[in-house]
Structure 1
Amino acid sequence: MPNINEIKKPIAAEIDVFEEKFKTSMQSSVPLLDRITHYIVKRKGKQIRPMFVFFSATICGGINESTHRGAALVELLHTATLVHDDVVDNSYQRRGFFSINALWKNKIAVLVGDYLLSKGLLLSIDNGDFKLLKIVSEAVKQMSEGELLQIEKVRRMDISEAVYYEVIRQKTASLIASCCACGAASANADDETIERMRLFGEKIGIAFQIKDDMFDFGTDDVGKPLGIDIKEKKVTLPLIYALNNSDSSERKRMVQLVKNHNDDPKKIAEIINFVKQKGGLQYSETQMQKYQDEAFAILNTFPDGEAKTGLEQLVRYTTERNK
């Protein structure tokens, strides 16, 4: 699997500039807000989303000031949704650190999320980046719809494979799609090219989420705790496939286990073994590979160069990771 620092090298200087601009974009005259946003910035991840923005801009014409604003917009709105998600999920940790709501309580966390949303909107409006704002706002809308669709279906435990793909397309893939589309749009690409880049990002996002869902049934040495999706009654692709390839009595028993015994370690282990025995992980791996291949097919319509290589390595990093 490619090393993230090696992938980043061609755009390392741009990422450094972006990080400073992103810090500035979050500044406030309220000391409490500044303390919280400083905490957020210090705990930022590997900058995968900005890298998609910058590589996409490069392959479509070149990075400019609008590209930097697009990357900041994606990160501001994404960070806002994460802060709100932790409140909704009653989650007190993110990437091994305390969440905002764990440290400052729900009311402040919601207000901080609102603040970040408004900063993203103003960053675009003040600079006339209306196309970028439309792209990212559409992604945030889809993320909300996907989350609500999942909540609705989890209650009924009736998620089909088609519904699963719709949920992850909206919840996860729409954001990576918006990164790639923003990069293309910031480089003044035409609408057809922007749509190609958006679709490329969507395929990656779907492959990424399938991979993430597989970790729930893998080994407990990965970054994601084993069985966490089962505990939350999330019906993901490995489980859907296993249920669809069971007789009615076995399917009924497993559905009841997920519904009523999802916090019992022995029952969780039984569900995980069931998924493995039914070939749920192998099937999911095949589907993930299909979406990765489709992403590469789109990428191959673009000219060769450092940006294309960077995007290819970034795809492999997101889909071939071990955690």
Structure 2
Amino acid sequence: MSLSKLGLFYLSKNNLCSSSVAVRNYVDFQRRELSTSKVQFAKLAQEKKPDWNKAVTEAEKIVGYPTSFLSLRWLLSDEIANVALHLRKLVGSNHPLLKTAKEIIYNGKNNMQAWGLIVLLVSKAAGHSADTPDLEQDKAAGVLHSQRALAEVTEMIRTSHLVHKGLVNLQLQANVAEDLMFGNKIALLSGDYLLSNSCIELANLRNQEVVELMSSAVRDLAEAEFVGPRDKQNNALPARPRTDIVEYKQFTDKTLEPWVVSEALGDAVTEWTLRHVLNAGSLLGKSCQGTLKLAGHPVDLQEKGYLFGKHLALAWQACLDREPFLLDAKGSFSLVSAPVLFALQHDPNLYETIEKGFESVDDVDYDALKKVVLNGPGIEKTKDLQREHSKMALEMLNELPESDARNALANIIAAMQDL
């Protein structure tokens, strides 16, 4: 099935789900608070704990979208539909682009599809200035047309980044297979197509400050691919644990200046935070900040929007880092995930195992490393990390007036706690 057909199937499926869910009665809600926060933050179903898919579905109804996949119209364009046809040639080649294509249309908690939804929820929760022209308002959804465009830009930038990460270093191949070369061409061109369209959409906003803000987020995404040691396929490896820990102050930085990377490497919390602020937190945080700027909110609230998006992205990442270490979980995991970094800090001698991956991360004994991580403090510290960033995100969220949109954001955060 081509990517375009899969996209249509996905859209149809979610339309049906939204229609059936809309019939149900979700009037009876109650407030609930996270164990680490005294902040009352959401109306949650009394019958059971918040479910991720339900939380996202409810949020989609609030902003008037049958699906959170805002960039679907780009994926169904003639150019990308043509790319989807060529993807068939990669079947059986094990090229990373195939995995990326599956993740783009996968409707689950580890996808990027909820990012645009979060930006729209922040937009609706904060509202906009009273003097906004009627033509600029999407009154049915309660957001501005420019905010909807920015949410779409956010997803296109993130998708293009993931597609570009699927490039394979063919210089290491003795006999380069034709399908791998073809896969690289498709990954490069399709990623460039999405990124160029996001630039066009940004320019159409006619807001220089927002363009500069989002451009710095793209810069951070690029820089994330060069942080710390890497194997020859550019897979990330953790830095050697250090004992002379220096306080890293740039995490509270509200400017657009690039960060000093060298000072953060070697300390588990600081290195993990730096990597994932660059790789995810910056884009989501600056998108939330930008959408508040488009609505004419004061600078102080814009900065709180940035902090909300950043902490939400970090809580999300900590949640994903835990998944490979859950009971019955199989397969490999990131060597720069929080549990691994905490294990290295707890036992620096474990770095000898990491060093085996300098040629290729496939040379690392993942099973042995996983046993060490499970027997150490890494999992519990990762849970603490997730709780900490969830709490900070909720504190920023409570700066917005209470509304269904704010409750939906809080439900999404709450749903992550039970994973």
TM-score band, normalised by shorter chain: 0.7 to 0.9
Distance 2:54 2:237 in 1: 38
Distance 1:197 1:289 in 2: 19
Distance 2:271 2:396 in 1: 24
TM-score normalised per structure 2 = 0.62
Question: What residue in structure 1 maps to residue 307 of structure 2?
Answer: 199
Q: Deviations along 1:225-280, whole A, 9 cap, x unmatched?
A: 53322xxxx2332223223233xxxx32x222232276479x42222221222221
Q: Return the match for 1:212 from 320, 325, 329.
A: 320
Equivalenced residues, count: 295
- Report the alpha carbon displacement of residue 216 of structure 1 after superposing the two structures with TM: 3.1
Distance 2:181 2:408 in 1: 37
Question: What residue in structure 2 maps to residue 143 of structure 1?
Answer: 221
Question: What residue in structure 2 maps to residue 83 of structure 1?
Answer: 163
Over the matched positions of the two proteins, sequence identity in percent amounts to: 19
> Which structure has the bigger radius of gyration?
2
Question: What residue in structure 1 maps to residue 394 of structure 2?
Answer: 296
* Residues 236/70 of structure 1: CA separation in 2 closer, same or farther (3 Å cut): same
Distance 2:351 2:67 in 1: 50
* Residues 32/116 of structure 1: CA separation in 2 closer, same or farther (3 Å cut): closer
Distance 1:80 1:136 in 2: 14
* Residues 18/88 of structure 1: CA separation in 2 closer, same or farther (3 Å cut): same
* Residues 52/70 of structure 1: CA separation in 2 closer, same or farther (3 Å cut): same
- Report the alpha carbon displacement of residue 80 of structure 1 after superposing the two structures with TM: 0.9
| Alignment of 1:2 onto 2:47 | no
What SS is found at the alignment partner of 1:316?
A: helix
Flag structure 2 segments of 5+ consecutive residues without an equivalent. 1-49, 88-100, 108-112, 128-141, 171-178, 231-235, 242-265
* Residues 185/258 of structure 1: CA separation in 2 closer, same or farther (3 Å cut): same
Question: What residue in structure 2 maps to residue 316 of structure 1?
Answer: 414
Q: Return the match for 1:128 from 178, 196, 206.
A: 206
Q: Deviations along 1:126-184, whole A, 9 cap, x unmatched?
A: 34143433332222211221221144583754432222211111112122213322332
Question: What residue in structure 1 maps to residue 344 of structure 2?
Answer: 243
What SS is found at the alignment partner of 1:271?
A: helix
* Residues 258/63 of structure 1: CA separation in 2 closer, same or farther (3 Å cut): same
| Alignment of 1:258 onto 2:354 | yes
- Report the alpha carbon displacement of residue 25 of structure 1 after superposing the two structures with TM: 4.8
- Report the alpha carbon displacement of residue 296 of structure 1 after superposing the two structures with TM: 0.9
| AA aligned opposite 2:355 | K
Q: Deviations along 1:31-82, whole A, 9 cap, x unmatched?
A: 5543237986995345311111110101111401111111111111111111
Q: Return the match for 1:14 from 57, 64, 67.
A: 64
Question: What residue in structure 2 maps to residue 44 of structure 1?
Answer: 105
| AA aligned opposite 2:218 | V
Distance 2:56 2:344 in 1: 39
| AA aligned opposite 1:80 | S
Question: What residue in structure 1 maps to residue 260 of structure 2?
Answer: none
Flag structure 1 segments of 5+ consecutive residues without an equivalent. 91-100
Distance 1:103 1:11 in 2: 39
Distance 2:116 2:146 in 1: 13
* Residues 131/25 of structure 1: CA separation in 2 closer, same or farther (3 Å cut): farther
| Alignment of 1:189 onto 2:297 | yes
Distance 1:11 1:168 in 2: 26
Distance 2:327 2:346 in 1: 23
| Alignment of 1:111 onto 2:189 | yes
Distance 1:104 1:213 in 2: 32
* Residues 185/37 of structure 1: CA separation in 2 closer, same or farther (3 Å cut): farther
Q: Return the match for 1:71 from 147, 151, 172.
A: 151
Contact 1:57 1:184 in 2 (8 A): yes
* Residues 110/263 of structure 1: CA separation in 2 closer, same or farther (3 Å cut): closer
Contact 1:57 1:186 in 2 (8 A): no
Contact 1:218 1:226 in 2 (8 A): no
| Alignment of 1:285 onto 2:363 | no
Distance 1:18 1:2 in 2: 16
Question: What residue in structure 2 maps to residue 93 of structure 1?
Answer: none
TM-score normalised per structure 1 = 0.79
What SS is found at the alignment partner of 1:15?
A: coil
Question: What residue in structure 2 maps to residue 227 of structure 1?
Answer: 332
CA RMSD of aligned residues (A): 3.2
